[in-house]
Amino acid sequence: MQDGVKIEYDYTIVKAFTYTTILFGIIGMLVGVILAFQLAYPQLNNLAGEYGTFGRLRPLHTSGAIFGFTLSGIFASWYYIGQRVLKVSLKESPFLMFIAKLHFILYFITILLAVVTLTMGITTSKEYAELEWPLDILIVLWWVLWGISIFGLIGIRRERTLYISLWYFIACFLAVATLFLFNNIEIPTYFVSGYGSWIHSVSAYAGTNDALVQWWFAHNAVGFVLTVPIIGIIYYFLPKESGQNIYSYKLSILAFWGLLFVYLWAGGHHLIYSTVPDWMQTMGSVMSIILIVPSWGSAINMLLTMKGEWQQLQSNTLIKFMVLASTFYMLSTIEGPIQSIKSVNAIAHFTDWIPGHVHDGTLGWVVFVIMAALFHMAPRIFKRELYSKSLMDTQFWLQTTGIVLYFTSMWVAGITQGMMWRAYDEYGSLVYSFIDTVTVLQPYYTIRAVGGLLYLVGFFMFSYNMYKTIVCGRILDKEPINATPVAP
């Protein structure tokens, strides 16, 4: 109820994006586990000819996980959170409902085409920007549609104050739009030269300039897809689930502006000891160190939200997911800046410590928050109690074990790699050949693959729990206020 008006929120689009979150999560993580086992056992590259090789599957994993699973979760959360904090229903505006449906349809078509083209080897070969120009145009279209839905809902809102979560969604929209447009300027070669495939293109930039623009984009794709909107999501669902107010609204705003101003300058740390100007490398390192402050500001704010209510961790698995996610966020955002220090980067760069860092952030922070969000939304959008608490608890511990196995094995593997690559004898010659390092790392690759497999099994448990909730969970007669109801 708002000023005597009963608002019936429309969850049609929320449900659609919930389904795609689960679908692309399964695809992205399944491919990731296959890749992990391929690194441990290279003969697995030969199982499906060219379509099963590491080079074909790797961009399918990264794009599927980031732009399939994560963006679906972000969009599902936005269409749920946006309506509720603005106190307005999508069904009140036929225009915005049409925009939302078109957004979903074009998005889904794009991700399906991405799966097909990447499997076929059609790629720009740019990290996190592998899709060719026709798909880039589609992305621009549905990204603009998302912007229309954001500002359209804000324009017809009943609640005048914009809750902090909306700030993070708006920042995600504006930053990614800018980053994507500049990095993906490309020239279709067929229409210029008359030769080659019509779908092929080359970047408008070359050499060092291409590297600078690419890593400005790629690092901030992590910042404004895998960080900023996820903070917006947890800032809504953690207080809602726990019944606690955010510890400090002022801290959330300070951390927001700090994150926005600093994150955009940190991409240069990917190019340390390369041909880019030294001052730019140094700036990337310095900004990465400064980035600890707003990152930890957000994480500490999340954890202190539970001040005096830590007993909820014993009974509420969703709180456990979100509190551990915040902890992994702190771990990841101290680890990245450490790796960007030039002396540390000399050992860490190009080693397996880097994917170790990436995955304690993505698996522990991003996926945990999105799964908790979907668990929280399910009883409210499907009007059914969550199917099984024991499944949730088992999933939580299985996936946590998987993450720990993953990042610890990659820490050891990465530092071992870096030290072996830099080992010299008394004559100044390298002590180890490259294949020596590969042989030594094989056990750690196996541990990483097993950790990934445990995590994937946990995600299948999550998917099954969601499915059973939707089809046979106990029907709820009224919407839960705080803690999400779950069958014992």
Question: Tell me, what CATH number does 295's domain have?
Answer: 1.20.210.10
Query: Is 84 among the domain residues?
Result: yes
Residue 12 confidence (pLDDT): 97
CB within 8 Å of 235: residues ≥ 6 apart? 163, 164, 165, 168, 246, 252, 302
* Residue 407 maps to a domain: yes
Distance CA 246, CA 255 (A): 13
**Tokens in use for 38?**
């391929």
Of 261, 252, 359, residue with least CA distance to 305? 252
> Would residue 153 count as lying in a domain?
yes
Nearest to 376 by CA among 6, 7, 11: 11
Is residue 298 within 8 Å of residue 259, measured between CB atoms? yes
Per-residue pLDDT, 4: 52
Quote the pLDDT of residue 6.
80
4 in a structural domain: no
6 contact partners, CB below 8 Å, separation of at least 6 = none
The span from the CA of 127 to the CA of 113, in Å, is 18
The per-residue pLDDT for 488 is 77
Residue 161 in domain: yes
What are the pLDDT digits (tens) for 370-422? 999 999 999 999 999 999 999 999 999 999 999 999 999 999 999 999 999 99
Tokens 């966020």 — which residue?
A: 329
* Half-sphere exposure in the Cβ direction for 459 (13 Å, CA): 27
Q: Cβ contacts of residue 45 below 8 Å, gap of 6+?
A: 38, 52, 53, 54
Residue 5: predicted pLDDT: 64
User: Closest Cα to residue 153, out of 211, 81, 214?
Assistant: 81
Domain that holds residue 347: 12-190+202-472
Q: What is the pLDDT of residue 263?
A: 93
For residue 451, being part of any structural domain is answered with yes
Structure tokens of 326? 């915040």
* Both structure tokens of 210: 């291409």
As a whole-number percent, the residues of the chain with pLDDT over 70 amount to: 99
Amino acid letter, residue 51: Y
Q: Is 197 a domain residue?
A: no
Separation CA 100–CA 10 (nearest Å): 11
Instruction: Report yes or no on 6 lying in a domain.
Output: no
Based on the structure, what is the number of domains in the chain? Answer: 1
Q: Which residues of the chain have pLDDT under 70?
A: 1-5
Q: Residue 405: which residues within 8 A CB-CB, separation 6 or more?
A: 447, 448, 450, 451, 454
Question: CB 339: neighbour CB atoms within 10 A?
Answer: 22
